[in-house]
Amino acid sequence: MSVHVGVDGGQSELRLTIAGSGRVHTGPGFVYGCDVVPGTVAAVRTAWAQVHGAPQVARAVLGLTGLPVTAEGRERLAVAVAELVGAEEVLLCADYVTAHAGALGAGRGVVLAVGTGVGCLAVDPDTGTCHKVDAWGHLFGDDGSAFAIGRAGIAAALRAVDGRGRATVLVELAERTFGPVGELAQRLYTAPSVVDETARFAVQVASVAGSDEVAAALLRTAAAELATTAAAAVAAIPDAGSVPVACTGRLVDSTPALREGFRAELSARCPQARHIAPAGTALDGACLLAGRPDPGAYRPLVHVHRRRGDR
């Protein structure tokens, strides 16, 4: 009996599951600056090695942060994954696509996927709308992301040390996390995992937001940025009316101030947005798409490789 495989590949880790198994296997995350194809294949190999037996795979769907930019790179990755897991068909897409499918069951609405970065997708199957907002990466976008919060938190700590900014407990947290503040910037600039390490500091910012006004202000700024992104996505759906909007991600789930701040800002900026809880995760979305014969409204954003016949 053939199975379907879902993969959620982020910057902190890669998660893989056989649909319906209830078991999740992990591999290393995506690292900026590396060749994403061998890095992703290695991560899938690590996770796949944890699967018992040798199941026959009909279709594997990978939602990735580190999706290759070119069609050639995506095909090279799809071919390698197909050979590794023995899949007849491999679908590649950005992780905000699988996040949307998981949160809204591939239905109409907007999903904001907040992780190390931020990707937002507006979909309306009836009109064929499939519109991305942000997901421009940590240098040029990802506003309101864990990276953006972590970077702002570190910057606030360094401003406080210089005397250019308000006193904040973030100085102590930054030194505890990264070492002596005088060496902090150089250490991060030269770290191959600088994006992931910076993003992880967002958890520290969130942990003191209830008692530190500098940290609280950073979360308010992030919530406003996320609401702006979601509102832009809602506006992309023709004759919108009431539009379901879900916000996903571990940082949002674990940080009430960020979650409630986003809801309040979205309500103020976009009255037609109807905030809802996500039905499932990006990994659920990958499994959902793996069980369907066609990507549907997501088709413009999905790379399809078939081992037999034409793509």
Residue 41: pLDDT band by 50, 70, 90 thresholds?
very high
Residue 136, C-beta contacts closer than 8 angstroms, at least 6 positions apart: 142
The pLDDT score that the predictor gives to residue 31 is: 66
User: Taking a C-beta distance cutoff of 8 angstroms, is the pair 163, 132 a contact?
Assistant: no
Residue 199, C-beta contacts closer than 8 angstroms, at least 6 positions apart: 11, 12, 115, 116, 145, 146, 147, 149, 150
Q: What is the mean pLDDT of the chain?
A: 93
Query: Edge to edge, what strands does the sheet with 118-124 contain?
Result: 129-134, 118-124, 109-114, 243-248, 273-275
Residue 82, C-beta contacts closer than 8 angstroms, at least 6 positions apart: 60, 88, 89, 90, 305, 307
Q: What's the CA gap between 40 and 50, in Å, rounded?
A: 16
The pLDDT score that the predictor gives to residue 310 is: 44
The pLDDT score that the predictor gives to residue 52 is: 85
Reported in sequence order, the residue ranges of 189-293 that DSSP labels E, i.e. its strands, are: 243-248, 273-275
User: Taking a C-beta distance cutoff of 8 angstroms, is the pair 27, 12 a contact?
Assistant: no
Q: How far is CA 89 from the centre of its chain?
A: 23
User: Taking a C-beta distance cutoff of 8 angstroms, is the pair 154, 49 a contact?
Assistant: no
DSSP letter at 153 equals H
Residue 307: pLDDT band by 50, 70, 90 thresholds?
confident
Q: What is the pLDDT of residues 167-181, one digit of tens each?
A: 999 999 999 999 999
Within 13 Å and on the Cβ side, how many CA atoms surround 34?
A: 21
Handedness of CA 136, 137, 140, 145 (dihedral sign): positive
User: Taking a C-beta distance cutoff of 8 angstroms, is the pair 305, 88 a contact?
Assistant: no
The domains located in the chain, with CATH, are: 2-99+282-306 (3.30.420.40), 107-140+220-275 (3.30.420.40), 146-200 (no CATH)
Phi-psi region of 79 (alpha: psi -120 to 50; beta: other; left: phi over 0): alpha
Q: What's the CA gap between 16 and 19, in Å, rounded?
A: 9
Q: What's the CA gap between 29 and 138, in Å, rounded?
A: 16
Q: Please compute the mean of the pLDDT values over residues 194-213 and round it to a whole number.
A: 95
Q: Please compute the mean of the pLDDT values over residues 256-274 and round it to a whole number.
A: 95
The pLDDT score that the predictor gives to residue 311 is: 42
The pLDDT score that the predictor gives to residue 4 is: 96
Q: What's the CA gap between 221 and 233, in Å, rounded?
A: 19
Q: What's the CA gap between 225 and 222, in Å, rounded?
A: 5
Residue 32: pLDDT band by 50, 70, 90 thresholds?
low
User: Taking a C-beta distance cutoff of 8 angstroms, is the pair 45, 27 a contact?
Assistant: yes
In this structure, the number of other CB atoms found within 10 A of the CB of residue 96 comes to 28
Return the SS3 of 205. helix
